Structure 1
Amino acid sequence: MSTESKRPLSVLMPVYNAERYVAEAVESVLAQTFGDFEFLIIDDGSTDGSRAILERYAARDARIRLTSRPNTGYLVALNEMIDAAGGEYLARMDADDISYPDRFRKQMEYMREHPGVVLVGSTAEIIDPDGDTLHVMGGGWLSHEEIDAALLGGLGQVVYHPSVIMRADAVRRLGGYRAEYYLTEDLDLFLRLAEVGRIVNLAEPLIKYREHLAKVGHARTAQQADAMQRTLVDAHRRRGLAPYAPGPGAVALRPRTHAQIHRTWAWWALGARHVATARKHALRSVADSPLDVDSWRALYCALRGR
């Protein structure tokens, strides 16, 4: 653990080829109303313009501790930052997301008022690659009991990884992120944290979580499904529960075409009454798969506005 910083909060952000989004992500952290933090960033061997963008911000704000090096993968980068962090608390941030200005203040206040809580996340405003709102997710799982049961049941993205603040000592005692569960290393860590303390989500969305076609869940679906299965099998065995078997509501991760993904985004946006955004993605779904009846149905509903 670093002794360079006495700031209470360490923000951890790995970056790899995030040129399109990283400036907005960095600015959302630097603009926080709670400003007493160090901002650890590892540029993990980016081959685009990410490093130059990060270097400009690092030159302007002394809170940024930037490391640029060859690519090792974000899990290795995260564990390196955990080891280097000087804060009592660890905030996760991803290079393609946006934090609301009051995110750190509200989460830090909650952690300090609830010493038994080892992780606090939040609901999330889901945005598309252009930054347009699709809908808000996560409101069904706020308490420790709700979250833990949903995680164990394989119900999907119950805790948004880039929304969390965690107690550094708890994360280190557990050994940080485990490489054997790469692609669901966050789920594995959350389940283990739930065994040593309480984990909660705040009802108010505190991040804008960006969906795009290059996300792991879209680009490496089969590998993530395998990692999720192994993570849940291990958690059930570790807790002495019945062997894990997908139950009602469990997410079945399957590869999807671009047309199917855009169609999902269109339905999300339409359900949240973001009609223009729904039309945009329904049109893209039709363009990607012009013979797909479901895409035309989504476009018809989007054009109607309901």
Structure 2
Amino acid sequence: MSDAITVVTTVYNGEGFLRSWADNLQSVLRPIDRAILVDDGSDCPVALPEDLAKDHRFKLITSARIGRGAALNLAIENSSTDLIAIQDIDDISLPDRLAQQADILAKYPEDLVFARSLTDRNTLFNARLRKINPARLYLGNRLHHSSLAFHRRVWTKAGGYATDLRCCIDLEFYLRASIHAGATLRQLTAPLISRNLDPTGRYFATIEPDIYDATRRKVLDQYRPEIASSLWLLLARFRKRRGGTNA
């Protein structure tokens, strides 16, 4: 069996998703795995369902309102395993997700390992695993934070999640981990998560577009000097494939 992994989730006023999250993780966690839920200062404090409260694999941490980045850091700091998996409270992990990502991290412990979602379009990649140039994130971020797994030491080397951003902490972490922690971005081509795409019920759908756009620009501009050379090479290849002529 591969190494144990801890699934970390944060929630703020999202108790309506708690039962489906609990049912999902009870079904996919192996005996060696763990799950940590951080209640990030919800107006009505979260309580674990009775069946989870008796399950030694689950842990609830209740904090004041500290923000998602700090809440993720708090969960990871309290993890008893070296391997970490991220899961949004309204998404679903498929049965083999944790075993597959733990297996890849045994081979590539310095990397960020993502999976695809059931709703992602089919790819032409035949390999089980593909590398993603971090410069590709400047053309759009199609990596699902809720599918991410990594070794704790990558998080430590990168300096943890940013605690001063309203959003885009996932994008910022990917870029910082690749640049400052030397992590390679890898994605399993198998779909291992199911995402909640309902715009009226998605947990993180409440971010105002202007705040998102401004924060995204800030993050991309911050790392642009360190990513620029590979970015322009990637853009050139992208335009060539599309038949473009602009340099």
The residue aligned with 2:46 is 51
- Aligned to 1:51, the other structure's residue is in SS state coil
- Amino acid across the alignment from 1:60: K
- The amino acid that maps onto 2:192 is L
What does residue range 55-94 of structure 1 map to in structure 2 within 5 Å?
55-94=49-88
CA drift of 1:179 comes to 2.4
The answer for the alignment partner of 2:111 in structure 1 is: 118
Residues 9 and 72 of structure 2 are in contact (CA less than 8 Å); yes or no, is this contact kept in structure 1?
yes
- What residue ranges of structure 1 are gaps of 5+ in the alignment? 1-6, 126-134, 250-306
Give 3-state SS (helix, strand or coil) of 2:164's partner. Answer: helix
Which residue identity lines up with residue 228 of structure 1 in the other structure? R
Amino acid of the structure 1 residue aligned with 2:151? R
Tell me the equivalent position of 2:143: 159
- Deviation digits for residues 101-140 of structure 1 (CA, Å, limit 9, x no counterpart): 111011111211x235511111112xxxxxxxxx324847
Report the CA distance between 1:163 and its aligned residue.
0.5
Deviation at 1:8, TM superposition (A): 3.2
Residues 13-63 of structure 1, C-alpha deviation per residue, up to 9 Å, x if partnerless? 111222332211222122126331221111122235x723x2424322111
Query: May I ask how many residue pairs the two structures share in their alignment?
Result: 226
Identity of aligned residues (%): 22
Letter in 1 for 2:175: L
Which structure has the greater CA radius of gyration? 1
The 3 A distance-change label for structure 1 pair 243 and 124 is: closer
- Do the aligned residues in 1 keep the contact of 2:91 with 2:194 (CA within 8 Å)? yes
Structure-1 separation of matches of 2:122 and 2:152: 24
Q: Counterparts of 1:270-281 in structure 2 under 5 Å?
A: none
Question: What's the C-alpha RMSD, in Å, of the aligned pairs?
Answer: 2.8
Give the letter aligned to residue 140 of structure 2: L
1:23 counterpart residue number: 19
Q: CA deviation at 1:221?
A: 1.7
Q: Which runs of 5+ in 2 are unaligned?
A: 239-247
After the TM superposition, which residues 149-298 of structure 1 pair with which residues of structure 2 at under 5 Å, given as runs? 149-151=135-137, 153-156=138-141, 158-195=142-179, 196-211=182-197, 212-213=199-200, 215-217=203-205, 219-239=207-227, 241=229
- Which structure has more relative contact order (CA 8 Å, sep 6+)? It is 2
2:134 maps to which residue? Answer: 148
- TM-score, normalised to structure 2, is 0.80
Specify the alignment match of 1:268 in structure 2.
none
TM-score, normalised relative to structure 1: 0.66
User: Structure 2: how far apart are the matches of 1:240 and 1:216?
Assistant: 30
Is residue 44–residue 77 contact of structure 1 (8 Å, CA) maintained in 2?
A: yes
